[in-house]
């Protein structure tokens, strides 16, 4: 089952890719829809992770959730500026999303420091690291146009960096969903154990 935020992002991306060739004007509007989808995807992914990782710690959870919402709003506003539509801004766009994505390391580090000896925390942190590596790999391939540089003219239809990026995002969203299911079931087991002990 795909998460709702991933579905929103993929729908926004599909709309952009289906209709961007209609005209430059339509492309300029729809690329912003695509950016909003990406921002919603990152923000929503963080929110689920933070909610379950810091379940039961209301004050910390609220601070992180508000911070990620504010970050998502800021990134959403930045990506709507016309400057980000330019091809030359590919690196800036990627940089903003990378910085936004890496902001997850702050609560992850705090979670690790708080309960680093817990096997559950180690699994949670390792799955966050795996997901981050997958996303960063996709972002690197997209930003550097790796396949186009390695095989110029041979990957124009199939195998270019944008397609690979989308495949990697789907893989990362599946890994992320498995991580969230693990965290949620771990928290349920912890809650059940506490009830049983009482």
Q: How far apart are CA 51 and CA 60, in angstroms?
A: 10
Residue 57 DSSP one-character state: -
Q: How far apart are CA 82 and CA 25, in angstroms?
A: 12
Q: How far apart are CA 166 and CA 162, in angstroms?
A: 6
Binding-site residue positions for Zn(2+)? 17, 162, 166
Which are the contacts of 99, defined by CB distance < 8 A and separation ≥ 6?
Answer: none
Q: How far apart are CA 185 and CA 198, in angstroms?
A: 20
Binding-site residue positions? 17, 162, 166
Torsion, Cα 31 9 75 82, to 10 degrees, reads 0
Q: Are 140 and 90 in contact (CB under 8 A)?
A: no
- Going along 56-141, which residue ranges are E strands? none
């Amino acid at each position: 089952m795909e998460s709702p935020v991933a579905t929103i992002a993929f729908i926004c991306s599909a709309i952009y890719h289906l209709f961007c060739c209609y005209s430059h004007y339509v492309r300029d509007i729809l690329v912003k829809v695509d950016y909003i989808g990406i921002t919603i995807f990152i923000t929503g992914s963080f929110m689920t992770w933070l909610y379950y990782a810091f379940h039961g710690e209301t004050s910390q959870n609220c601070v992180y959730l508000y911070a990620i919402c504010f970050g998502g709003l800021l990134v959403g506003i930045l990506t709507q500026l016309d400057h980000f539509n330019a091809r030359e801004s590919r690196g800036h766009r990627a940089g903003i999303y990378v910085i936004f994505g890496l902001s997850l390391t702050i609560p992850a580090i705090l979670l690790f420091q708080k309960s680093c000896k817990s096997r559950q925390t180690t699994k949670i942190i390792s799955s966050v690291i795996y997901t981050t590596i997958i996303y960063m790999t996709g972002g690197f391939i997209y930003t550097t146009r790796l396949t186009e540089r390695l095989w110029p003219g041979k990957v124009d239809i199939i195998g270019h960096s944008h397609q690979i990026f989308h495949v990697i995002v789907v893989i990362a969203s599946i890994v992320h969903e498995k991580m969230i299911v693990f965290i949620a079931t771990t928290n349920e087991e912890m809650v059940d154990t506490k009830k049983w002990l009482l």
